[in-house]
Structure 1
Amino acid sequence: MDTQASPIRKLAIMGGTFDPIHIGHLVTAEEVRHEFGIDEVLFIPTGHPPHKSNINMTTSEHRYLMTVLATAENPNFKVSRLEMDREGVTYTVDTVKELKRIYAETVKLYFITGADAVQKILTWKSPEELLKLCDFVAVTRPGYHKAELIQKVEELKKQYEANIHFLEVPALAISSSNIRERINAMKPIKYLVPEEVENYIKKYDLYEYKICLTEEERTEMYDYVASKLSPKRYAHTRGVVEIALEYAKYHHLDYDEIFIAALFHDIAKELGKEEQKRLCDLYKIELDEFEQKHIDLAHGKIGAVLLEKNWGISKPSILNSIRYHTVGRHNMTDLDKIIYLADMTEEGRGTYKGKDQIKELAHYDLDRAMYKALISSYNYVTNILKQEVHPITQELIEYYKQFN
């Protein structure tokens, strides 16, 4: 029987928001892997980092999937949901301790971080404990002024017996914030991110340019919508705009996007069934089997087309929130959720069981609010209207049940 212990593997932790992941991250990880003989680099997208708690980050699921796409071709790269699936604020020390628990004594951990972060490490949670749990690799770009950094590192080594290494990486000149700015300015990001990530960003309309409306444009839009709806429906629409903007404030979403989506969400609501069918045929709007039987549910998809055709607004995030506000969809964005919830909770809807709770939840937890809203909608349609519901309703109830 071979009693020889298994050799200790080297595992490097590459943490970050990855919003989005870019070539700089990948080059850094590969350089560290080569320089320190790392067996595996574990990319860990952050869940709720304390230092970015007030920033409107892209959803963790989008950031995770982009990271998976970016690292898929490298057999030495893996992606972990460890921080994403952890409830509450994410702290590095908790992540490292969890990895130590998972791998026990079979791995030696290296934590990859920027040089600036190393200098601020004493402001992190439990820094003394963290410095003893793993080695740190402080990566810098060529030309980085290291005198202050070296002094700080020497102090940490002496005071905490920390193991901190240096590594220069040319690609660190690239940053996620710069990529977001380039997208916002409609500049190319090709070769700054993997092709798969670039395509993913385009598909889901991440980091797109912001629409900036003037007061005159807002007034013009209000007048247009008022001319297309009955006074009662228009009053409902104004109510949806009001509550949607309130929700947007709490979730740091773009006001103009919310305004447009809320204002136009029911623009096709009062069209007759024959007109709705005609427009679906004219614009080749795809309807599922349930929508074909219940053509009134198509008004969201028709409204999205009319907004694009008549107002030239083609931003997918806005159009999708209008398109799917009737029954929802899988992988709903925060904008989708807010339009769905605002449509159900505006004051003109009157009082119904659970409405106040849905409104309260919508201010701080959109997923829990969605679960309550979907249950309420299901009960209303089946018990009060005595009608069948779209199959996706039950699917969404099952999905959002995990957040309740």
Structure 2
Amino acid sequence: MRELPKALQTDGTSPQVNQSIALSGLLPPPDRTRARVLAWLKGNVPETRIRHILRVEQFAIELAQLHGLNVEKAAQAALMHDLAKFFKPKRLLSMAIAEGLTLDPIDESNPHLLHADAGAIVARDEFGVQDEEVLDAIRHHTLGSPTMTLLGCVVYLADGLEPGRGNTPELEELRRLSHEDLIQATWRAADASLRHLIQAGHLIHPRTVQTRNAFLQQYKQTEAKPRTLQNHFVKGIQP
């Protein structure tokens, strides 16, 4: 029998009792989990970052609703996306190594990039999150991933485009795109991130490039289909 995650165990009870609670469906409802996460954040994250997290949560909910995705998953991943934001570099590296993650040299030179992966570990181990789609959305919110689901795109975009990021024409255009087309918005957001990193003279993690290319390719393939169908009809050929 699989043991209930430590974060969800009831103080003073045995693992067997906790397992029975889990199986009977008596675990705390999502709103209580959210309260626990917020309480944890208050002890580990500055108030300014908590305000950012709440804006990301709200934007993620908005995008999930617009695109017909699971709103509860989007809210959960967004609320937990920066759990490890202020962990020290040594802690981030040790967590990544203990988890068996494959580290890029850029991860080792800039461990802060690992806060997304570490945040997923905290979500799993401290708050009992088992949904891999939610955990992946947390893992990929900073660098993206060529294999991101649409839920992952929602959290990735919400993190970069929430209202507190500013109101430049570029951001406003990306926000508009995020409401219309998650695939296009994702590759364009990654593209904008790359331009910023190049202009600032920063190292670029290969996953950001891979994300940009993967979603640009998806977008081009999607855009090509209507044109192909139109050409077939013009020529009198059934597709």
Same-fold call, TM cutoff 0.5: yes
Q: Partner residue of 1:194?
A: none
Q: Is the 8 A contact 1:240 1:346 kept in 2?
A: yes
Q: Partner residue of 1:323?
A: 139
Q: Partner residue of 1:202?
A: none
Q: Quick one: structure 1 residues 222 and 353, their matched pair in 2 at CA, closer, same or farther if it must change by over 3 Å?
A: same
Q: Partner residue of 1:247?
A: 63
User: Which one of the candidate residues 271, 283, 286 is aligned to 2:87?
Assistant: 271
Q: Describe how 1:185-224 pairs up with structure 2 within 5 A.
A: 213-224=29-40
Q: Describe how 1:359-374 pairs up with structure 2 within 5 A.
A: 359-374=175-190
* Higher relative contact order, structure no. (Cα contacts within 8 Å, ≥ 6 residues apart): 2
| Paired amino acid for 1:396 | T
Moved over 4 A (4+): none
* CA deviation after TM superposition for structure 1 residue 353, in Å: 4.2
Higher strand proportion (structure 1 or 2): 1
Q: Partner residue of 1:301?
A: 117
Q: Describe how 1:122-201 pairs up with structure 2 within 5 A.
A: none
* CA deviation after TM superposition for structure 1 residue 311, in Å: 1.1
**Cα distance in 2 for residues equivalent to 1:281 and 1:316:** 20
**Cα distance in 2 for residues equivalent to 1:278 and 1:311:** 20
**Cα distance in 1 for residues equivalent to 2:104 and 2:203:** 15
Q: Quick one: structure 1 residues 397 and 215, their matched pair in 2 at CA, closer, same or farther if it must change by over 3 Å?
A: closer
Q: Is the 8 A contact 2:146 2:215 kept in 1?
A: no
TM-score after normalising by structure 2: 0.74
Residues 314-340 of structure 1, C-alpha deviations (whole Å, 9 max, x = no match): 111011111111111122100110110
| 1:327 alignment partner, SS class | coil
Tell me whether 217-226 or 296-305 shows the greater mean CA deviation: 217-226
Residues 42-92 of structure 1, C-alpha deviations (whole Å, 9 max, x = no match): xxxxxxxxxxxxxxxxxxxxxxxxxxxxxxxxxxxxxxxxxxxxxxxxxxx
Q: Partner residue of 1:144?
A: none
User: Which one of the candidate residues 191, 194, 209 is aligned to 1:394?
Assistant: 209
TM-score after normalising by structure 1: 0.45
**Cα distance in 1 for residues equivalent to 2:43 and 2:68:** 31
**Cα distance in 2 for residues equivalent to 1:212 and 1:218:** 10
* CA deviation after TM superposition for structure 1 residue 302, in Å: 0.7
Unmatched segments (≥5 aa) in structure 2: 1-26, 221-239
Q: Describe how 1:96-115 pairs up with structure 2 within 5 A.
A: none
Larger radius of gyration: 1
Structure 1 position 226 matched with structure 2 position 42: yes
Identity %: 26
Q: Is the 8 A contact 2:186 2:215 kept in 1?
A: yes
| Paired amino acid for 1:248 | A
Unmatched segments (≥5 aa) in structure 1: 1-210
| 1:268 alignment partner, SS class | coil
**Cα distance in 1 for residues equivalent to 2:139 and 2:79:** 13
- The root-mean-square deviation of aligned C-alpha atoms, in Å, is 2.0
* CA deviation after TM superposition for structure 1 residue 235, in Å: 1.1
| Paired amino acid for 2:147 | N
